Amino acid sequence: MSTSTHDPAPAATVAPVATGASAPQRTRRTNRPWRTKGAGGFGKPTLGGLVARYVLLVGMLLVAIGPFLWQLSTSVKGPRDDIYSFPPQLIPGDATLDNYSRVAATIPIIDYAWHSLIVAVTLAVANVVLGTLAGYALGCLTFRGKRLAMLILVSTLLLPGEVTLMSQFLTIKSLGLADTLGGVILPGLVGAINVLLMTAACRAIPKELLEAAVIDGASTWDVLRRIVWPSVRGMASVVAIFAFIGGWDDFLWPLIVLSDPAKYTLTVGMEYLNSNFGSDPRVVAAGTMIALIPIIVFFAVFQKFFFRGVEDGAVKG
């Protein structure tokens, strides 16, 4: 008597192969930066959306750095290069650094850059210190007239800076600071927007922590040094960078206050290039690059503090 048996081995060996073969395919689909239409994973864009994002980013990049590249190219172009061609020829055919030497021969770049550095560094330090103190008072303390002070600060942001130029100049002149770097620095020692930024950062500090420090006998200086400053130094770096760039790039106010060419800042001194070399944009572009390069270097060195401060403000706020 014979018994018939069925061997299920062939069927058992097919399923693991098929399962194993499909797993890498699912992994590859999951790792794609886009999703197919009708599929889940709404955190990823579709293929068309991804392409549109990159096209938009490239367009924004060209708009942002296009003028800089054009100025840089113009500053090293020789007399035989056409600077008015369209589209612009970014790679000069007759490259030269003679334009930069002509700028150095026309204005005292070192002296003007030193004046701009004094103004920018002073404004950066003053805005951080005074902004932190004012922000602590408005954000952490309770006193009569606090809302009125906030209202005045906000209202000053609604006025264009040109509206107060005459009153500021008369004040500086009455103090005997006209035609001095002190007169250039004084109105910008603390900005309303910087005070509001530091106030927002101070408000993110837990009140319980401040009250516990006071109960433990900490003085105001101890609270500022040990609690407030470690919590707001990220935002303070943002304020310092904005104040430095604003002080370095400022043109109108130093032009009004300063009358002695020997005391000019770099941006005001560059106006000589427009008058003496008005028919040669190559030299003007070279002067623009000289004034812009320190800002690029400064931001490149401190960019990690800037983005860290923006991130801290976004998380805490």
Q: What is the pLDDT of residue 41?
A: 56
Distances (CA, A) of 33 to 43, 47, 68, 79, 87: 10, 8, 32, 49, 34
Kindly tell me if the per-residue pLDDT of 316 is higher than 70.
no
For range 256-279, the mean pLDDT: 80
Q: What are phi and psi of 2, to 5 degrees?
A: -105, 140
Helices (H), 34-145: 47-75, 98-106, 109-140
Q: What is the pLDDT of residue 17?
A: 47
Cis peptide before 33 (omega within 30 of 0): no
Q: Which CATH class is domain 107-316?
A: mainly alpha
Distances (CA, A) of 75 to 94, 99, 274, 282: 11, 7, 14, 5
Q: What is the pLDDT of residue 30?
A: 56
Kindly tell me if the per-residue pLDDT of 297 is higher than 60.
yes
Of residues 155 and 28, the one with the higher pLDDT is 155
Burial class (CB in 10 A: 0-12, 13-18, 19+), 236: buried
Do residues 235 and 131 touch, judged by C-beta distance below 8 A? Answer: no
Of residues 36 and 208, the one with the higher pLDDT is 208
- Of the given ranges (9-18, 173-182, 261-270), which has the lowest mean pLDDT? 9-18
Calculate what percentage of the chain has a pLDDT beyond 90: 21
Q: How far apart are CA 263 and CA 227, in angstroms?
A: 41
For range 65-85, the mean pLDDT: 83
Q: How far apart are CA 158 and CA 195, in angstroms?
A: 15
What is the overall mean pLDDT for the chain?
81
pTM of this structure = 0.75
Do residues 202 and 228 touch, judged by C-beta distance below 8 A? Answer: yes
For range 145-157, the mean pLDDT: 87
Beta partners for 35?
A: 46
Q: What is the pLDDT of residue 278?
A: 53
Q: Where in the chain is the domain with CATH 1.10.3720.10?
A: 107-316
Q: What is the pLDDT of residue 92?
A: 82
Q: How far apart are CA 239 and CA 260, in angstroms?
A: 31
Residue 101 one-letter amino acid: S
pLDDT-based confidence at residue 129 (cuts at 50, 70, 90):
very high
Task: Concatenate the DSSP letters of all residues of 119-170 into one string.
Answer: HHHHHHHHHHHHHHHHHHHHHH---TTHHHHHHHHHHHHHS-GGGGHHHHHH
Q: How far apart are CA 182 and CA 122, in angstroms?
A: 10
Kindly tell me if the per-residue pLDDT of 317 is higher than 60.
no
Angle between helices 146-158 and 192-203 (to 10 degrees): 140
pLDDT per position as a tens digit, 152-200? 888 888 888 778 888 899 999 999 999 999 999 999 999 889 999 999 8
List CB contacts of 181: < 8 A, sequence separation 6 or more: 115, 118, 119, 263
